[in-house]
Amino acid sequence: MKISSPAFENNSKIPKKYTCDRENINPSLKIKGVTKETRGLVLIVDDPDAPLGTFFHLLVWNIPPETNLIEENSLPEGTVQEKNNFDKENYGNSCPPFGEHRYFLKIYALDKKLDLSSDSRLKEVEGATKGHILDQAQLIGLYQRK
């Protein structure tokens, strides 16, 4: 399985458009190689370089397994999205207080849909995926405010 973006390459700079310095929207993402056994996808975007520990920017589950493109500034229909560490139900973009940060866009293929309430937190989602991950991939974007 592979996740990529037409907006930036792996381990390269995230364009300002997708940060708090501009439009603050999610970039489009391409997903390839999802196995036919997959019943749902989970997308987590986090920043392990945040001053107080890993900061998560996006948590979405039950993405349909046939999804091969997540459009810019949108999420597929039928998905469940949790509030991020900004306490908002949207994509919280790259906005590091200092230095260059790494943003991990991680996709997980699961052998089941997650039966969780929409107010489930990251730990609950991670717990529910244990033993059900068929495949995973990640894309890393870099950003530093000037």
> In the prediction, which pLDDT does 96 show?
75
Nearest CA to 91 out of 33, 9, 7, 1 is that of: 7
Please answer whether residues 56 and 45 qualify as being in contact, where contact means their C-beta atoms are separated by less than 8 angstroms: yes
pLDDT tens figures, 39-94: 999 999 999 998 888 888 889 999 999 999 999 999 888 888 777 666 666 666 77
- Strand positions, DSSP E, 22-112: 29-32, 40-47, 55-63, 69-70, 80-81, 101-110
Give the pair of three-digit tokens for residue 129: 């995926």
Nearest CA to 72 out of 47, 91, 86 is that of: 91
> In the prediction, which pLDDT does 60 show?
92
* Domain hosting residue 118, numbered range: 2-143
The CATH code of the domain that includes 87 is 3.90.280.10
- Domain total of the chain: 1
pLDDT tens figures, 99-114: 899 999 999 999 999 9
Total-model pTM: 0.91
